[in-house]
Amino acid sequence: MSTVLETKPASFVQVLSPDGSVVDRDLLPNLSDDQLRQLMYRMVFTRTWDQRAVKLTRQGRLGFYAPVSGQEASMLASEFATNEEDFILPGYRDIPQCVFHGWPMYQAFLYSRGHQHGGEVPEGVNILPPQIIIGAQIVQASGVAMAFKLKGERRVALTYTGDGGSSQGDFYEGVNFAGAFKLPAVFIVQNNQFAISVPVRLQTAAETLAQKAVAAGIPGIQVDGMDALAVYAVTKEAVDRARAGEGPTLIETVTFRYGPHTMSGDDPTRYRTKDLESEWEIRDPLVRFRKYLESKNLWTESDENQAIEDGKNAVTEALKQADSHPKMSVPHLIDSMFAELPAKLKAQKEEYLASREVK
């Protein structure tokens, strides 16, 4: 595979065309047939999960939720390029990457409901809970990567934000810090064209978001975010560079979210035209990757149906677990804030418990 990170920042990396044909064989990643099938399985599974989650949110059975359909290649192919010991620092839309990195789905559902147990990441699962503050995870990723470097560990911090996140101050601070100290970090900006309702052209005068890497002195690359193989190829090279001590990379995945920004009242028809949505539907990452695999006799209708069924069953089971988990309590919230409670919190807990006894 030829290198993709030596190209100029405004270059655009693509492996598969929308019809599933290969446009650049030199960039085809070295993935086995089983790995290709597994990546496709995850994408179909996630599309099914997302569709169910949208319905559950409308029914009031989930809380905050940011739809992901359209961004499966950007999310899942990039995570697929990491190792289990690498660290994922997600934004609030990046739930699928965390689940496939080991975070139990039922905890993701509890997180969406605001339940504290959702953020109690199990031992050995190398993620932070999804960050709700736009761009804050970029600074955190540089901190995690600095820890890896100081400890001499061959691990990588991989973080995500949206195009809107690249307009935040934390984004520039985090990327600059990583560049200055040559940290093992990969910054992925998922450019889904709109920061809620604000289009990219109103956020920045830069031709690409990838070229913002130039100011930090690090490689920047723009990739077709609807192309799973291109996303994997670019991310794998960036992760390998970081692991080898060659420093961070900024990746812009050009993608599109088919649904609203979140299920909290956003109406994309107010700021997106049907023509624009139709243009991006033609580039659907699942359709593209499916056509490629079918041309290699690696994906069948039976495989598709199995992934869909597994996705439905996983959501059903995760919802049952979330529903049966004990309700969050104020004492539990206070107890979990510190290993040893300071005097003020002890007093607050005692005051709360006393008020409950009075009632």
Q: For residue 91, give the 3-state DSSP assignment.
A: strand
The residue whose two tokens read 């005068």 is 205
In the structure, what pLDDT confidence band is assigned to residue 131 with cuts at 50, 70 and 90? Answer: very high
| Domain segments of the chain as ranges | 12-327, 329-359
Q: What distance in Å separates the CA atoms of residue 96 and residue 103, rounded to the nearest whole number?
A: 9
| Mean of per-residue pLDDT scores for the chain | 94
What pLDDT is stored for residue 9 in this prediction?
47
User: Cα dihedral sign for 331, 334, 335, 336?
Assistant: positive
In the structure, what pLDDT confidence band is assigned to residue 77 with cuts at 50, 70 and 90? Answer: very high
Catalytic residue, from 52, 257, 272, 288: name it: 257
- Does pLDDT of 3 surpass 90? no
In the structure, what pLDDT confidence band is assigned to residue 8 with cuts at 50, 70 and 90? Answer: very low
Catalytic residue, from 37, 154, 258, 271: name it: 271
What pLDDT is stored for residue 332 in this prediction?
86
Q: Per residue in 12-38, pLDDT tens? A: 999 999 999 999 999 999 999 999 999
The residue whose two tokens read 């997600």 is 90
Catalytic residue, from 261, 272, 283, 288: name it: 261
Q: Per residue in 293-349, pLDDT tens? A: 999 999 999 999 999 999 999 999 999 999 999 998 888 888 888 889 999 999 999
Q: What percent of the chain has pLDDT over 70?
A: 97
What pLDDT is stored for residue 254 in this prediction?
98
What pLDDT is stored for residue 333 in this prediction?
85
Q: Tell me if residue 106 is catalytic.
A: no
What pLDDT is stored for residue 5 in this prediction?
55
Element (H, E) at 303: helix 301-324
253 strand-pairing partners: 190, 223
- Does pLDDT of 4 surpass 70? no
Q: Which fold has domain 12-327?
A: Rossmann fold (3.40.50)
Q: Tell me if residue 101 is catalytic.
A: no
Q: What distance in Å separates the CA atoms of residue 244 and residue 78, rounded to the nearest whole number?
A: 18
Q: Tell me if residue 272 is catalytic.
A: no
Q: How far lies 134's CA from each of 2, 130, 171, in Å?
A: 34, 11, 9
